[in-house]
């Protein structure tokens, strides 16, 4: 029995639409999630900037004096936790060592990497905060790296998707990637990049591009 030509064409069209749908559905689910994650990161960065402003206005406070006198990374990290605790509800409980962070290209953040952090802390129900003391610069300027996993241990735990970060100095807060050109930020904030520059790229209006 010969199948009518219109039936073959109709079936072929449906098949094509079905295949296209398979590619589009994951994106349609992921895009709203990313939009939500980016919004959360922007809110966290605003809070972080506010905390830094508060610290500047309390330069003579006892806790800042202790910070300047601290001689080891562990001491400084402990003091930083005390400073931000009221603003991010950082608890004393550390995240289990099984928690691992990956770059956007899905490579693991290994020990020895600049973005590797030894200890992470729960901050509220759906936030994980990482704090790392950075080496003092030649001019004596101190700083530390802070990372935020905005949906906690829930995957993907990847830079640029649900993990973002900033360098915090005594007088300013710099989202990761701020010192890079927009072109380099765009390249890094992709599936082939580390995703660390997404921290600044999204703040300046860059879009998520899977």
| Mean pLDDT, the chain, integer | 80
> What is the number of other CB atoms lying within 10 angstroms of the CB of residue 37?
20
Residue 59 has pLDDT above 80, yes or no: no
% of the chain with per-residue pLDDT over 90: 43
pTM: 0.78
Query: Cα-flanking dihedrals φ and ψ of residue 27, to 5°?
Result: -65, -40
Does some domain include residue 208?
A: no
Nearest alpha-carbon partner for 193 in 179, 204, 209: 209
> Distance between CA 122 and CA 95 in Å, rounded?
6
- Of residues 138 and 98, more confidence is placed in 98
Nearest alpha-carbon partner for 180 in 160, 196, 161: 196
Q: Which domain holds residue 179?
A: 33-201
Does some domain include residue 39?
A: yes
Q: How many domains does the chain have?
A: 1
Q: Which DSSP letter does residue 180 get?
A: S
Does some domain include residue 25?
A: no
Q: What is the pLDDT of residue 103?
A: 97
Does some domain include residue 22?
A: no
> What is the number of other CB atoms lying within 10 angstroms of the CB of residue 192?
9
77 confidence band (pLDDT: 50, 70, 90): confident
Burial of 199 (0-12, 13-18, 19+ CB in 10 A): buried
- Tokens 């790392």 locate to 132
Does some domain include residue 114?
A: yes
Is the Cβ–Cβ distance between 198 and 164 less than 8 Å? yes
Does some domain include residue 59?
A: yes
Is the bond preceding residue 107 a cis peptide, omega within 30 degrees? no
Does some domain include residue 146?
A: yes
Does some domain include residue 166?
A: yes
- Which residues are CB-contacts of 59 (< 8 A; sequence separation ≥ 6)? none
């Amino acid at each position: 029995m010969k199948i009518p030509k219109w039936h073959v064409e109709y079936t072929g069209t449906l098949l094509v639409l079905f295949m296209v749908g398979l590619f589009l559905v994951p994106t349609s689910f992921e895009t709203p999630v990313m939009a939500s994650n980016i919004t959360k990161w922007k809110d966290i960065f605003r809070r972080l900037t506010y905390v830094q402003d508060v610290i500047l206005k309390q330069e003579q406070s006892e806790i800042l004096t202790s910070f300047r006198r601290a001689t080891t990374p562990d001491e400084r990290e402990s003091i930083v936790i005390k400073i931000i605790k009221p603003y991010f509800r950082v608890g004393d409980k550390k995240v289990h060592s099984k928690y691992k962070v990956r770059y956007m290209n899905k490579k693991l953040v290994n020990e020895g990497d600049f973005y590797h952090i030894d200890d992470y802390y729960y901050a509220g129900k759906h936030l994980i905060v990482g704090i790392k003391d950075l080496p003092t610069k030649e001019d004596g300027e101190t700083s530390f790296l802070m990372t935020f996993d905005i949906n906690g241990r829930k995957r993907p735990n990847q830079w640029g998707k649900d993990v973002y970060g900033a360098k915090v100095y005594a007088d300013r807060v710099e989202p990761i990637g701020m010192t890079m050109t927009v072109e380099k930020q765009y390249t890094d904030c992709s599936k082939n990049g580390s995703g660390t520059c997404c921290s600044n790229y999204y703040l300046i209006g860059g879009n998520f591009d899977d």
